[in-house]
Amino acid sequence: MNLLIRSPAKINLFLRVTGRRPDGYHDLFSLMCRVGLYDEIALSLSPGPITLWCSDPSLPADETNLAFRAARCFCEAVGRREGCDIRLVKRIPIAAGLGGGSSNAASVLMGLNRLHGEPMSRERLMRIGRSLGADVPFFIFESPALASGIGDELVAFPGMIPGKALIVCPPFHVSTRMVYQNLNLQLTNHEKRPTRTHFIKTAFDPSHHLHNDLETVTLALHPELVRIKGLLKTQGATGVLMSGSGPSIFGLFPDEDALRRAGAELARERELKVFAVDLLAGPVSLFRGVGPAADRENRR
């Protein structure tokens, strides 16, 4: 059986950097939510080695790719000698603060688990994901989440409500390492921000919760992002923020009509990639089987 998997992007609705660890990583506190912008993965088992094809030739198709590494880690964990075939169609912009690579790795782990009859619990898959990257467990968690540690310690966030967002991606990448290297921790920690207890007791409110410690650094390195934020605000966004270390900027919109009008206006900026998405506040079906066995399963 083959599986077709939708591999979603994410945005950070809140991100605070709380400290630097001895290993060089940073501790953070973040509210993350998956959004309806998807890569597509066709996944099947094979008797031969692990193979990966990607629609974007700029991405490696070997063990340096997170999706490939995820497949290898899964096969080693379950003691399987056979491999798999991964065909990845990229739609999530690369190195844009949207978690595309981590999502791909999580999708491969969950897909292989399903193809093998689900020998692993979600908790074990998340442990494997943690070895691949800080954001991978979040995509296996499959819920809006409050993240702490390096982003891999997750608590479900019950106050997320469905909404619409417009994601705008400029035509350049941002080095996450450079952003963190230029972050002034003394300045960010001086400002009082909402705590986990606050978030758990309240519903998400853009007027109070939208914040990203990394935004000031990235905007200083790339001042053109300030103009993109201004465009989204002019088009009626109820809140505008950079996701992760950037450079993607998103605007939250109150309804479909406002989102559509803003998307049409931003699309005139030819150098920008613009995506209208839903905030995935609840469970979403990401898997679809292909073949006779899958047809029987899908009809249930």
Instruction: Identify whether 192 is part of a domain.
Output: yes
Query: What total number of domains does the chain contain?
Result: 2
Question: How many whole angstroms separate alpha carbon 107 and alpha carbon 284?
Answer: 13
Is residue 291 pLDDT above 70, yes or no?
no
My answer on whether 144 and 8 are in the same domain is yes
pLDDT at position 196: 73
My answer on whether 145 and 11 are in the same domain is yes
My answer on whether 9 and 142 are in the same domain is yes
Instruction: Identify whether 83 is part of a domain.
Output: yes
My answer on whether 59 and 136 are in the same domain is yes
Mapped onto helix, strand or coil, the DSSP state of residue 151 is coil
My answer on whether 145 and 191 are in the same domain is no
Question: How many whole angstroms separate alpha carbon 228 and alpha carbon 248?
Answer: 10
Q: What value does the CA radius of gyration of the chain take, rounded to a whole number of Å?
A: 19
Is residue 217 pLDDT above 60, yes or no?
yes
Instruction: Identify whether 285 is part of a domain.
Output: no
My answer on whether 150 and 257 are in the same domain is no
Instruction: Identify whether 54 is part of a domain.
Output: yes
Q: Please tell me the pTM assigned to this model.
A: 0.92
Q: What value does the mean pLDDT take over residues 111-126?
A: 97
What's the pLDDT tens digit per position in 234-278?
999 999 999 999 999 999 998 999 999 999 999 999 999 999 999
My answer on whether 294 and 148 are in the same domain is yes
pLDDT at position 245: 95
Instruction: Out of 7-16, 23-32, 47-56, 260-269, pick the least confident.
Output: 23-32
Is residue 293 pLDDT above 50, yes or no?
no
Query: What sign has the CA pseudo-torsion 102, 108, 114, 117?
Result: negative
* Cβ contact 287:114 at 8 Å: yes
Catalytic residue IDs: 10, 135
The whole domain housing 180 covers: 163-279
Instruction: Identify whether 284 is part of a domain.
Output: no
My answer on whether 139 and 190 are in the same domain is no
Question: How many whole angstroms separate alpha carbon 147 and alpha carbon 157?
Answer: 10
Is residue 185 pLDDT above 50, yes or no?
yes
My answer on whether 72 and 196 are in the same domain is no
- Tokens 């990448």 belong to 173
> Higher pLDDT residue, 146 or 203?
146
Mapped onto helix, strand or coil, the DSSP state of residue 11 is strand
My answer on whether 12 and 123 are in the same domain is yes
Question: How many whole angstroms separate alpha carbon 37 and alpha carbon 100?
Answer: 10
Q: Can you give the CATH number for the domain in which 66 is found?
A: 3.30.230.10
pLDDT at position 98: 97
Average pLDDT across the chain, whole number = 91
Cis peptide before 247 (omega within 30 of 0): yes
Q: Can you give the CATH number for the domain in which 250 is found?
A: 3.30.70.890
* Residue type (1 letter), 287: F
My answer on whether 169 and 261 are in the same domain is yes
My answer on whether 144 and 186 are in the same domain is no
pLDDT at position 296: 39
pLDDT at position 155: 93
What does DSSP assign to residue 98? Answer: S
Residue 294 pLDDT grade (very low, low, confident, very high; cuts 50, 70, 90):
very low
